[in-house]
Amino acid sequence: MVALERVCRVATVSRTGVPQVVPVVHVLVGDKLYFASEGEAKKVKNLRVDPRIAVTIDVYSEDWKSLKGVAIQGTAAVLGNGPRFRKIRDLLYEKFPQYPQDAALGKGDVIVEVTPRHVFSWGFE
């Protein structure tokens, strides 16, 4: 489910304790979740100060008995340009074919690697 969904929500906290939640597109590689960002984005600045992160991937349904989701609490590492950056960028481009044209990743952009510490889910039998 995590690998197939198209968007997740990422929560970080600022140096002064102000929470921020933003939607991002992601890929799952092994047990780690990755997303890209501008290097100067608020979420990246927050993670450079405090690497704790929370991620929610959910599937909404009008039939609330069918609600499903996964919540991840963990730590994040910010990856600059290099082999892992390029590998994950290529996976993001594969999953989201519009990415290279609409939001190509270039100089100054980063990949965020999320290492789960606690994972819980709901709605799965």
Contact 19, 12 (CB under 8 A): yes
| Domain total in the chain | 1
Task: Report the CATH number at residue 26.
Answer: 2.30.110.10
Q: Is residue 19 part of a domain?
A: yes
Q: Is residue 59 part of a domain?
A: yes
Q: Is residue 32 part of a domain?
A: yes
Consecutive H or E run containing 20: strand 19-24
Q: Is residue 1 part of a domain?
A: no
Per-residue pLDDT of the chain (125 residues; tens, 9 = 90+): 788 899 999 999 999 999 999 999 999 999 999 999 999 999 999 999 999 999 999 998 899 999 999 999 999 999 998 999 999 999 999 999 999 888 888 889 999 999 999 999 999 86
Distance of CA 19 to the CA centre of its chain: 16
pTM: 0.94
Structural domain containing residue 30: 8-122
Q: How far apart are CA 105 and CA 114, in angstroms?
A: 18
**Sheet architecture: strand order including 68-79:** 19-24, 8-13, 52-59, 68-79, 109-122, 32-38, 27-29
Tell how strand 68-79 and strand 109-122 pair up.
antiparallel
Q: Is residue 2 part of a domain?
A: no
